[in-house]
Amino acid sequence: MEVGLTLGLENREGSMKLSTKDCGCYVEDISIKLDGGASWLYQGVVDAFEEQIGSAVESTIAKKLKEGIVKLDSFLQALPKEIPVDDIASLNVTFVNDPLLSNSSIGFDINGLFTRANATTLPKYYQNLKRPVSCTDPSKMLGISLDEAVLDSASALYFNAEFMQWIVDKVPDQSLLNTAGWRFIVPQLYKKYPNDDMNMNISLSTPPVIKISPNNVDAIVYADLIIDVLESQEVIPVACISLVIHASGSVKIAGNNLAGSVKLNDFTMSLKWSKIGNLRMFLIQPVIWTLIETVFLPYVNVHLGKGFPLPIIHGFTVQNAEIICSYSKITVCSNVAYEDPQNLNQLSFHSYRNTVML
């Protein structure tokens, strides 16, 4: 028996449309043998209708194949175009462009940019990638290329949502949040506000700039740090310091999530304004370094350590993943396995701006 099946797969308004172009089944030969009792009597009847039985097999197999394609198309049409991330962000998971076919794989471009949750319209970001995913191990079953645009969209969205602002009122060395701890660093601060508690108001002035390069992910953060004095239940801003923080990051796989962490490379600082006179920045720099290392980076790493979902159909798990950083993209090459084969009929989809190559 020979079975031939030709399918069409195209992008229709952000969803994949699967259709049957041609489907056929040809039974070259069929042999039916009966055993038992009066089998000799019925064997002649079977032999006489052998051609009709073969024809029935052909039509039934072709019919079942077409029905299966219709079910698979319904699954593709039911894939969500937007996936909630948290109360702030959602992901645009519409398909971009038609699939990219090769002799041994099929690839999809997925928009996947971060958007505001519950947005009435989704921003369009149609870029003709058409770049194959490159894995060092060709035996890997799945390749996912995450474009730098994903990180840029997340950075801009959370910045515009005013999520990148923190008031620091607790630190490992709590003496840093009292003017007495600053009496030798900024004497005029202690003189004007003796033994008053303080807090640090940190806010990013622009979205973080993220650059992906071979074997590394770098970030530049521009922030303003306002020193507040708490006096008689009044918050008094006394000085503002501009920071330019240079950090490097590493990425890893945590379950089905792409997670990571950052570490401080260096930072520069300058006085933006002051109500307590000029500040000696070289004396303040060790204090700011301590605040970044003990407060800012641990907070950021807690969130980065959770990561975000890779575009894996629910019910499958990533195995033996390899991460490759190149210019402007992160590539994850992995095998996949079933979590629970009994629940493969309950599949959902999670995706980001990427090229997915199966």
Asked if 292 and 267 count as a contact pair (C-beta separation under 8 A), the reply is yes
- Residues with Cβ within 8 Å of residue 160, at least 6 apart in sequence: 207
Query: What pLDDT sits at residue 123?
Result: 52
pLDDT, averaged across the chain: 85
Closest CA to 147 of 81, 220, 222, 96: 96
- pTM of the predicted model as reported, rounded to 2 decimal places: 0.77
Asked if 245 and 267 count as a contact pair (C-beta separation under 8 A), the reply is yes
Mean pLDDT to the nearest integer, 66-70: 93
Residue 146 pLDDT level (bands cut at 50, 70, 90): confident
Residue 352 pLDDT level (bands cut at 50, 70, 90): very low
Strand ranges for 81-174 from DSSP E? 82-84, 89-92, 95-101, 106-110, 114-116, 142-147, 165-168
Name residue, tokens 């996949």.
336
- Residues with Cβ within 8 Å of residue 328, at least 6 apart in sequence: 147, 148, 211, 212
Query: What pLDDT sits at residue 249?
Result: 92
DSSP state of 208: P
Give the Cβ contact number of residue 154 at 10 Å. Answer: 21
pLDDT digit string, tens, across residues 180-216? 999 999 999 999 999 999 999 999 999 999 999 987 8
pLDDT of 348 strictly over 50: no
CA distances from 253 to 111, 275, 307, 319, 321 (A): 21, 47, 8, 10, 7
